[in-house]
Amino acid sequence: MVLETDLVVLGGGTGGYVAAIHAAKQGQDVIIVEKEQLGGTCLHRGCIPTKALLRSAEVYDTVKRADEFGISSHAATFDFLKVQDRKNRIVEQLHAGVKALCQKNKIKIYHGEGAILGPSIFSPVSGAVAVTFPDSDEEELIIVPKKLIIATGSSPRTLPNVEIDEKLILTSNGMLHLQELPQKMAVIGGGVIGVEWASLLNSFGVEVTIIEYAERLLINESVAVATELQKQFEARGIRVMTQTAVKSAAVESGTVQLELAEHAMMEFDKVMVAVGRTPNVKGIGLQNTSIQFDDNGIKVNDYYQTTESHIYAIGDCIDTLQLAHVAAKEGELAVRHLLGETVTPLHYHDIPKCTYTQPEIASVGYHASNFPENMNVKVGKFHFKGNGKSLIYGEEEGFVEVLRDADTDDLIGVTIIGPHATELISEATASIYLNASALELSDIVHAHPTMSETLMEAALDTYGLAIHK
């Protein structure tokens, strides 16, 4: 069967379905081809389920500290299967919401494997999509769109010397299906995924060791943040091994033997591999086109056009920040461009990055370890222990850093490690987007007592004018 349509979106993850809805709202006839479930990695294997688990871990930590708040309670316990059930209910509720939105906007969904075709009897140019349905007797479908958006996402990256079985040696995908927690676990990789899992596992009583090849955790954040995170992790009992390479992993008698550099051997009940994600660019027919791609993803211009201008690519399958909110924005901008609207390219430097550990971490713009050497930067810093709301909540560890260009007075970066950092960063992001100065950020009257006052104080500190420091 052959169908014609205005737009095909290959991949129904966050970027894909947002692009599809935006196009449908502009009157386009839209089809999504998704081989699994709408919502993609973020909804089913990433952002949402892991944050649901982290929230349960946070509540458990709070209950364990009840005596600090004058609350008497019996010894806190948890049921991990109920924790998983809660996570699954949240995912299913949001999944149902995404399906309802697509139905509301009259978007057709085909659950099958899509492959891009080159010029053929169906179309004189590349971009038709052949859809097969491996688990059914349904015949192959050929969809011929006027425009195509590739949004195939990414998959967990692995190590050549570590074989994944998703039972004892797992990726983040396998971790989400655990029915019981191990006693002793290694997390290979100290990036965002690795430290989030280490944090929640530790909260639930797992003995956790992080093994990181680089010189510090969260290599894309500042040295000060990495140092503070490691300090707090180690205070919680998480072992952190940096500048350590994993040479091999072997399953023996129901445990995992890790061979590290210098021939050190360590034994764990389970091992998680969290060394990043790789773009899904294989097996989708790119070789049938003139689209340029490599192991880093599909090559696109500022408007997400590939080398075939009627074919766009967004999200984790291109070489930009692998974040759900980035993919969603890229999807919107790609649709606006293919509809002929004037589009301002996305400034990736001003996009917030969040890590949902305990403590939370968030940053936007430059941080104290990566601003240009030729820039005259003033760094303001304020610790949460000087903030009334933080003390009230019993969450006084961490700090806020604000960076100001002393020559232009522009606000050029904010970094937060501490309570509610992932919410507080929105004020900083809006300020940078609106080209505010550090003085303007500090001039805003912040309600008292709130944790947002830490931003005001750190901004004032770039002038040496912080009140409570």
Which residues are identified as catalytic? 448
Token digits for 366? 């430059």
If 0-12 CB within 10 Å is exposed, 13-18 middle and 19+ buried, where does residue 94 land? middle
C-alpha–C-alpha distance, residues 298 and 314, integer Å: 9
Q: How far is CA 197 from CA 19, 194, 249, 386, in A?
A: 30, 5, 20, 29
E-strand ranges in 133-233 read 141-150, 154-156, 169-170, 184-188, 207-211
Please provide the DSSP assignment of 302-354 as one string. Answer: TTSB-SSTTEEE-GGGBSS---HHHHHHHHHHHHHHHTT---PPP-GGGS-EE
C-alpha–C-alpha distance, residues 394 and 419, integer Å: 10
Question: 439 with 459: CB under 8 angstroms?
Answer: yes
Helices 324-338 and 14-25 cross at an angle (nearest 10°) of 30
Token digits for 337? 């461009």
Task: Decide: helix, strand or coil at residue 17.
Answer: helix
Element (H, E) at 88: helix 80-104
Contacts of 421 (CB under 8 A, 6+ apart): 354, 359, 360, 361, 362, 398
Question: 22 with 164: CB under 8 angstroms?
Answer: no
Find where tokens 């500048």 sit: 243
Task: Decide: helix, strand or coil at residue 177.
Answer: coil
Q: Within 13 Å and on the Cβ side, how many CA atoms surround 5?
A: 27
Task: Decide: helix, strand or coil at residue 5.
Answer: strand
If 0-12 CB within 10 Å is exposed, 13-18 middle and 19+ buried, where does residue 422 land? middle
C-alpha–C-alpha distance, residues 32 and 14, integer Å: 12
Q: Quote the Cα angle for 103-108-113, to 5°.
A: 130
Q: Which amino acid is at 338?
A: L
